[in-house]
Structure 1
Amino acid sequence: LMQVLKGAYEAFLGKEIDWTVTETAAPAGAPFAGSQETVLEESDIKFGYCTEFIIMLSKTFNIKQEMDFKAYLESIGDSIVVVADDDVVKVHVHTNDPGLAIQKALKYGALSNMKIDNMRLEHHEKVVKMAQKEQQEAAAAAPAEKKAAAFIAVSVGEGINAILKDLGVDYIIEGGQTMNPSTEDVLNAIEKVNAETVYVLPNNKNIILAANQAKYMTEDKKIVVIPTKTIAQGITAVINYVPDLSPEENEAAMTEAIETVRTGEVTYAVRDTVIDDHEIHQGDYMGIGDAGILAVGQAIETVTKDMIDSMMDEDMELISIYYGQETKEEDAAALRDKVAEKYPACDVELQYGGQPIYYYIVSAE
């Protein structure tokens, strides 16, 4: 504020302004040379404690007392801010002895909202974090060793992202709530993986076209698009990858494997409608399968169980349940137990997906 007022005053006086910008070069070997952020040495911090508090006035605090209080604070520190009201005084000061400021303030009333920060310690932590950031950026910029094959998958939800990473996916395209990244997003992902063959898992029927467009626009790598329409199919595709097979053989094997997966997703209706002969009201829960609506109701667990019943046949051996960010773990565990009880011949797995919008994503294979 003082700089603004100073500039306004000098402009009022008609003072000539020198607009030349002088860049000060960092000394050779100085940390973070070239960084846009100014880094001070700890020795440049004259007063080490940023001290803030509010005085709840119990005595008169007139202009003279305010000036005396400010003068005292200036004698023990800098960066003084004192804002007085009828009942309270807000105080900010940088000092090497916060106790002196506090003792002086106690003469005018009780204190509240006290906050003391060690600026030298904060400075040290900031320097360490900046060093770590530069190291990470340098590591990220370094070219990775070229691999024979790499996987790119469109995903949503921290749990599902982690599952895909654990299975060997090299790059996750965050699809957002609607999971609809663009061709450019896929191209950027392809550029960031260093591999001879890149397998792309769209995991959404709406993205398969974009993935294929990215494939045709890439010349320096072999791109294989596995037409996965759901997250569950994407997980199955990765599991069925065999490093010893050729890209063509893996494409055929993974494409065949995803055909055995049935997927259901539980979400809510945003408006009244009729779909697949199901009358749906706003706020109802819906179980959506590969080919349409499988279940509708007003209870999440009931809809999910009805949806799973519609997905099952006698050949199914594995049921995987991924619960979303709005679903409680205990509710998901209770659902898993009931499904396992009803289908004792199947392995029933429960994992945290963390996906938005969908309370559950369920696969049966």
Structure 2
Amino acid sequence: MREEHQEKVIRDAQKASESASAPKKEEPRKENGFIAVAAGDGLADIFRDLGVDYVIEGGQTMNPSTDDVLSAIEQVNAENIFVLPNNGNIILAANQAKNLTEDKEVYVVPSKNIPQGIAAMISFVSGRSAAENAESMEEEMQLIKSGQVTYAVRDTNMDGKDIKQGDFMGLTDKTIVSVGSDLQGTAKELIESLLDEDSELVSLYYGSDATKEQAEQLAEDIENTHEDVEVEVQYGGQPVYSYFISVE
């Protein structure tokens, strides 16, 4: 009986060893996968909710490298990978990672900011080819008007505006629109510059140095001034930028 028990133990050990050494069966690849660059836990959650598989932490003050993007591509098990840099300074690294990838088709959707990246993800349509989606995502994100509010780290003069250290600045992709010591006033002036008669929706993504109450008050002020405009408030949690703003 003892010998039979020992033989069983040996057989079980051999089976366990064979099982452990056997190559693991690879999971089949899905058709499409998504990678986005973002800083802030709220923004990361927003992108994941939109279907992003892998969020690379990074942004204006912490640009991911080509290796970071390449590693993310390797982590996503899909035939087609869409990469959203969400910053003009990261597009080059994303394209370099694309050129180094041989076993997957990589599409770099050249989003220059967070609102563009979100708009691109929303416009993705299942059933279209990857190439068609990449084209339409880029087209749709260009329709978004976007801005951001940050603060000055030193005294300077830009775009004809005297700026003091600590001042808030409202920026578009082209210029500094507003400057002031008051966050809310600076943000409102920026939003007003982005609105026109066709605007319907403003999205506010508030960062780590703004509060939900501030964002909601700003939204209320805009809606009171523009009856046909709806304002959505979402937590972004991003550093450096008090608000990311999109208008459509």
2:45 is paired with a residue of what secondary structure? helix
Aligned residue for 2:106, secondary structure, equals strand
- Paired position in structure 2 for 1:181: 64
Q: Tell me which of 60, 66, 75 is aligned to 1:192.
A: 75
The percent of aligned pairs where both chains have the same amino acid is 51
Is contact 2:115–2:146 with CA below 8 Å preserved after alignment?
Answer: yes
- Corresponding position of 1:211: 94
From 167, 186, 196, the equivalent of 1:313 is: 196
AA partner of residue 299 (structure 1): D
Q: Tell me the SS of whatever aligns to 1:180.
A: coil
Contact 1:177 1:356 in 2 (8 A): no
Query: 4+ residue runs of structure 1 moved beyond 2 angstroms?
Result: 141-145
Q: What amino acid does structure 2 have at the position aligned with 1:317?
A: E
State the partner residue of 2:172.
289
Among 112, 116, 121, the alignment partner of 1:233 is 116
- Does 2:147 align with 1:243? no
Work out whether 1:303 is the aligned partner of 2:164: no
Residue type matched to 2:165 in 1? Q
* 1:125-167 Cα deviation digits (max 9, x unpaired): xxxxxxxxxxxxxxxx995541100000000100010010000
Matched, 1:340 2:223: yes
Give the superposed CA RMSD. Answer: 1.7
SS of 2:89's partner is coil
1:202 is aligned, of 76, 85, 105, to: 85
Structure 1: gaps spanning 5 or more residues: 1-27, 30-140
CA change 1:318–1:282 in 2 (3 A) is: same
Q: Distance in 1 between matches of 2:49 and 2:131?
A: 24
Q: Is the 8 A contact 2:150 2:242 kept in 1?
A: yes
Residues 144 and 171 of structure 1: is their aligned pair in 2 closer, same or farther, counting only changes over 3 Å?
Answer: farther
Task: Name the structure 1 match of 2:232.
Answer: 349
- Map of 1:263 onto structure 2: 146
Quick one: distance in 1 between partners of 2:220 and 2:186? Answer: 16
The answer on whether the counterparts of 2:60 and 2:87 sit within 8 Å (CA) in structure 1 is no
How is 1:22-37 mapped onto 2 (pairs within 5 angstroms)?
Answer: none
Q: How far is 1:232 from its partner? A: 0.5
Please identify the structure whose Cα radius of gyration is greater: 1
| Mean CA deviation greater in 170-179 or 248-257 | 170-179
Given the alignment, which residue of 254, 274, 279 partners 2:137? 254
Question: Do the aligned partners of residues 300 and 143 (structure 1) sit closer, same or farther apart at CA in structure 2, a change above 3 Å counting?
Answer: farther
Q: Counterpart in 2 of 1:276? A: 159
Aligned to 1:326: 209
Work out the CA distance in 2 between the residues paired with 1:235 and 1:176: 15
TM-score, normalised to structure 2, is 0.88
Task: Report the CA distance between 1:298 and its aligned residue.
Answer: 0.8
In the comparison of the two structures, how many residue pairs are matched? Answer: 227
